[in-house]
Amino acid sequence: MPNPPTPTRVKPSTLAKTLGRAVIVALLVLLALTFIFPFVWQILISLSALTDVDLLTQTGFPPALQPENFITIFQRVDLARYFFNSFFIAGWVTILQVITCSMAAYAFSRIQWPGRDKVFLLYLATLMVPAVVLMVPNFVVVLKLGMFDDYSGLILPSAFSAYGTFLLRQFMLTVPSSLDEAAAIDGASHWRIFTTIMLPLARPGIIVMAIFAFLFNYNSFFWPLIITKTANLRVLPVGLLQFESSYGQETPLIMAGSLLAMLPPIIIFLVLQKYLVKGIQLGAVKG
């Protein structure tokens, strides 16, 4: 070396470090506020009287709080029915998916049978096909099976998820095979191994899949829109949109309904966040 190295950088002082951290925290907080304030604003609108909404940007707070909006919306539109439909459909889809996918995943991960890998490859291949490709033929299938404008048409097509099967199979593969061998020697049948060993051990994976299935179907809009025509079968997104397009001026009521519709996903997320975060990350690593 021609020149001895000169110490150009010294260790940052504690003050500089603290300042740096404070800047990061400030950024984190400001960003959090950009996500929180819109929702605060939505709550304010939903609590306003119809006549006060247009002034809200000027005053920043409604002159009179009107929490009864949250009741009125139920009277103005059959929101209870939409809630029931959304929960009923998403709930059934979730239950059926958990049953069919976990059983299929067991067959794919734990039983040796000829042709298994080929069938699984077929499952995998369909994951590459975008959902829009399935939309039209499924519409025809539902029409031909007489499930149009019926709960069955809303539930059954989603009850057999190839993605869910894939996810659970990957999860079950991580359970050591010696466990079910031990159970077999202990005297358990396949059904016994499935229910008492595999299901409890794959529980985190099943919860993840169930959350995905529920949230996806709870938020689903395109399919319910094209497959139903009776008002009684409307799910929340469709029902809210119909209400909005007929009573577009009633912003407080629309916001109240929209807030109510957002509550279940928020609660589910807050309660099961641990599983969901893991699941999303697992899906990427294995996928």
Partner 1 sequence: MIGSKKKRVAIAMMFLLPNLIGFLIFTAGPIFFSLYMSLTDWALTKHNEFSTEPIRFVGMQNYQRLLVGDESVFFWDYLGNTIFLMIGIPISIAGSLALALLINAKATPQAPRIRIRAGVIALVIGAIVTFFAWLATTPGPLPDPASPLLEMSAEVGLTDKSLFEVARLRSISFTLITAVFSLVIALGLIVGSVFFRTVYYLPSLLASVPMFLFWKTLYRPRGGLINAVLDPALDTIQTIITSTPRFLWYALGIALWTAAIIWAFRLMRSGINKLVHKDAGAAAFIGRTALVLTMLITAYGVGAVLVQAPQQSMLRSGFTSLDRSQTQTIADSLAAEFPTADTAELNLIARNTDGSSPDDAARFFATALPDDALPRTRTIARAQAKPLHDGLTSGDGLTSPEWLLSPSWAKTALVVMGIWTAIGGANMLLYLAGLANIPPELYEAADIDGASGWQRFVHVTWPQLAPTTFFIVVMSVIAGVQGGFEQAMVMTEGKADTITLSYYLYNIGFSDRFELGLACAIAWVMFAMIFVLTIFNFRVGNQLTND
Partner 2 sequence: MAQVTLKNVAKVYDKKIRAVEDVNIQITDGEFLVFVGPSGCGKSTTLRMIAGLEEISEGTISIGDHVVNDVHPKDRDIAMVFQNYALYPHMTVYKNMAFGLMLRKLPREKIDKLVRDAAKLLDIAHLLDRKPKALSGGQRQRVALGRAIVREPAVFLFDEPLSNLDAKLRATTRTELKKLHARLKTTTIYVTHDQIEAMTLGDRIVVMSDGRVQQIDTPLNVYKRPANRFVGAFVGATPMNFLEGILESADGRFFFVAGETARIALPAEFSSALADHIGNTLSLGFRPSAMREASPADPQDERITLRTILVEPLGKNADVSCEFPDGTHVLARIDAREDFPVNADVQFTLEMKHVHIFEPGEFGANLVHPPADILAPAAV
Using CB under 8 A, list all residues that contact partner 2.
Answer: 176, 178-179, 181-188, 192, 196-197, 200-201
- Nearer to partner 1 by Cβ, of 68 and 181: the residue is 181
Angstrom CA distances, 225 to 77, 132, 228, stand at 17, 14, 6
141 binds partner 1 (CB under 8 A): yes
Residues 78-117 that bind partner 1 (CB under 8 A): 99-101, 103-104, 106-108, 111-114, 116
Pick 54 or 181: Cβ nearer partner 2: 181
| Binding status of residue 267 toward partner 1 by CB under 8 A | no
Residue 176 makes contact with partner 1 by CB under 8 A: no
257 binds, among partner 2, partner 1, none (CB under 5 to 8 A by kind): partner 1
Q: Does 175 bind partner 1 (CB under 8 A)?
A: no
Per DSSP, 12 falls in state: P
- Supply angle C-alpha 5, 10, 14, rounded to 5: 170
For residue 197, the partner it binds in partner 2, partner 1, none, with Cβ less than 5 to 8 A by kind, is partner 2
Q: How many CA atoms lie within 13 A of 37 on its CB side?
A: 7
Q: Look-up: residue for tokens 């049953």?
A: 99
**What minimum distance in Å lies between the beta carbon of 113 and partner 2?**
13
Helices 203-219 and 162-173 pack at an angle, to 10 degrees, of 160
Taking the complex as a whole, the smallest distance from the CB of residue 166 to partner 2 amounts, in Å, to: 24
Q: Which residue has the tokens 């929180």?
A: 36
- The C-alpha atoms of residue 83 and residue 167 are separated, in whole angstroms, by 29
Q: How far apart are CA 256 and CA 72, in angstroms?
A: 9
Cα–Cα distances in angstroms (integers) from residue 182 to residues 92, 107, 169, 224, 281, in the given order: 34, 18, 20, 46, 31
Q: Which does 179 bind (CB under 5 to 8 A by kind): partner 2, partner 1, none?
A: partner 2
> Measured from the CB atom, is 63 or 176 closer to partner 2?
176
CB 215 within 8 A of CB 268: yes
Total chain residues near partner 1 (CB under 8 A): 105
User: Which stretch in 19-27, 72-80, 87-95, 202-210 sits in contact with partner 1 by CB under 8 A?
Assistant: 19-27
Distance of closest approach, residue 232 Cβ to partner 1, in angstroms: 18
Q: Applying CB under 8 A, which of residues 49, 175, 201, 226 lies at the interface with partner 1?
A: 226
